Amino acid sequence: MGHDGNGLQPEFWARPLVATALAECDMATLLDEVRSAHGWTQSQLAHAVGYSQSWVSKVLRGQQMLSVDQIRDIARTLGVPQYLLRIGDRGGEDPTKRRDFSKVAFLAALPVAPSISYRAADETTAASLAAITGAQRRLESDTPARELARGAVAHVELTKRALARSAETPFAIEVCPTVSEAAGFAAWLHADMQDIGTARMFYRFAVDSARRAEHPLLEAYMLGSLAAFEIDHDDPQLGLSMVAQARARTGSHPPPTARAWLACIEALGHAARRDAHSALRCLREAELAVAAGERTVSPPWPWVFPFDPGKLAGYRALVMVRLGRPQDAVAAFTESLVSVRPAAKQQALLMLEVATARRMAGEVDEAFTLAQEALKAGVVYSSERVLQRVRRFRRDYEGPPSLLVREFDDRLRSTAV
């Protein structure tokens, strides 16, 4: 009598290693992860799938080829979500041996052999795909982006295949937005790795997918994310044009959270162009939207949290740094950090902004002390985004090299070894 694997929670299939195994039909990894999750021995796993222990041992070591029928049978027995499992490819290829997927391939329409059939999407498909993206996002706060990127890119492919299989079902409208969500997260990870070209590609794919989903707020969210990305990478004019597109997608009466967020991104764009009047006007608009949002129970999807005064203060601080107003920036940062507890990598980026404001105010030692803490976080979490900002912070300082500055330089040089 076989065991039933349906007891595994949806979050299990969202684990990066499991998501990648699903995408690559890596049955050795998948079986070992299921075995570990249940606390089974190899013998118990063999009993569960109805094969001998020696046969299972060979599968786990990658020494036993599986037919498509065997994969399907084992997947059904263990409760593996088959709509997330890539089964088979062009004739004859061992499905357990495929490992290498290029980034471009994930965004291209992959041909599927007509002899291979896939399970159609059902009412659980969209929720399962969204759960994977959500779990990956939760892991991102304290996990190096490089450790998550492969699984995230694989998940983009999972969502694309699920959407293709849902085309003739009533569930397509629910599955379609999950493609945009997954691509947006993949873009964020690649931006953290400073893989700018790949990040931009995924962001644009996320925008296009949201447009195809005919979900105006999701499209506005992805356009706003791409706008912030372009502003952050020294193209504020392009970013501002994308903010305008995003505003158009939110309609004449946008939700307060969307309005406040987009107004803050626009303020950053104007500040990057040293247009103080326009930047401050956008911050005032954001203040009005935040006040209106305080009467709202929850923000509309895809926003998860309301845009509160603490977040507004954080954006105000960023704007003030770019406008060269260090005292206003420090005051705003202080206000934001009282009410908001950012994740480790985000906190490092904020520390660098505070350090920049301190340096502009002439408080050099305080500035480099903060920058040194940010540098530590960048190293611990392998965040190229943080490390690149640290290097920019150092380049912008042209004052005398104090003892603290020399210690900072020594640590910074060690990261390049």
pLDDT at 417: 54
Name the residue with tokens 């159609």: 120
Q: How far apart are the first and last CA of the chain?
A: 56
CA distance linking residue 208 with residue 223, whole number of Å: 9
CA distances from 237 to 187, 203, 267, 275 (A): 21, 17, 12, 12
Residue 141 lies in a domain: yes
Report the phi/psi class of residue 334: left, alpha or beta, with left for phi > 0 and alpha for psi in -120 to 50: alpha
Query: Do 66 and 175 fall into the same domain?
Result: no
Residues 160 and 209 in one domain: yes
pLDDT of residue 266: 98
Residue 139 resides in a domain: yes
The DSSP secondary structure of 285-346, one letter per residue, reads: HHHHHHHHHTT-SSPPTT--S---HHHHHHHHHHHHHHTT-HHHHHHHHHHHHHH----HHH
- What is the CATH classification number for the domain harbouring 308? 1.25.40.10
Domain end residue (candidates: 213, 232, 261) = 213
Domain end, chosen from 287, 306, 339, is at: 339
> Considering 277, 305, 339, which residue would you say is the last residue of a domain?
339
Q: How far apart (Å, rounded) are the C-alpha atoms in residues 353 and 367?
A: 9
Looking at residue 69, its pLDDT comes to 74
State which amino acid sits at residue 355: A
Asked if 381 and 303 sit in the same domain, the reply is: no
Structural domain harbouring 363: 343-416
pLDDT number for residue 92:
38
On whether residue 311 sits in a domain, the answer given is yes
Q: What is the CATH number of the domain that holds 70?
A: 1.10.260.40
**Cα 60 from Cα 30, distance rounded (Å):** 9
Residues 229 and 324 in one domain: yes
Looking at the fold, whether 29 and 72 belong to one and the same domain comes out as yes
Question: What would the two tokens of residue 171 be?
Answer: 């569930």
Same domain membership, residue 325 and residue 231: yes
Looking at this protein, which amino acid is placed at residue 309?
P
Shared-domain flag, residues 131 and 200: yes
Query: Are the CB atoms for 330 and 365 separated by under 8 Å?
Result: no
Res 83: pLDDT: 58
Whole-angstrom Cα distance, residue 249 to residue 260? 15
Q: Are residues 353 and 325 in the same domain?
A: no
On whether both 226 and 324 belong to a single domain, the answer is yes
Domain annotation covers residue 113: no
Does the residue 316 lie in any domain?
yes
Task: Specify the number of domains making up the chain.
Answer: 4
Q: 341 by DSSP, 3-state: which?
A: coil
Per-residue pLDDT, 219: 95
98 domain-assigned: no
Tens of pLDDT along the chain (417 residues) come to 334 444 677 667 767 777 777 777 788 888 998 998 889 999 888 888 888 888 888 888 888 878 777 887 888 888 887 656 665 433 333 444 333 333 333 333 333 333 334 566 788 889 899 999 999 988 888 889 989 999 999 999 999 999 988 888 888 889 999 999 999 999 999 999 989 999 999 999 999 999 999 899 999 999 999 999 999 988 999 999 999 999 999 988 899 999 999 999 999 999 999 999 999 999 999 999 999 877 666 788 888 777 889 889 999 999 999 998 988 988 888 888 777 677 788 888 888 988 998 898 888 999 999 999 999 998 988 888 899 999 999 999 998 888 889 999 999 988 875
Q: Which amino acid is at 383?
A: S
Residues 199 and 237 in one domain: no
DSSP state of 27: H
Q: The tokens of 34 are what?
A: 């299921």
**DSSP labels, 233-274:** TT-HHHHHHHHHHHHHHH-SS--HHHHHHHHHHHHHHHHHTT
403 in a domain, yes or no? yes
**Cα–Cα nearest to 124, from 85, 162, 86, 74:** 162
DSSP reduced 3-state for 371: helix
Residues 143 and 201 in one domain: yes
Are residue 207 and residue 219 in the same domain, yes or no?
Answer: no
Tell me, yes or no, whether 90 lies in a domain. Answer: no
pLDDT at residue 52 in the model:
86
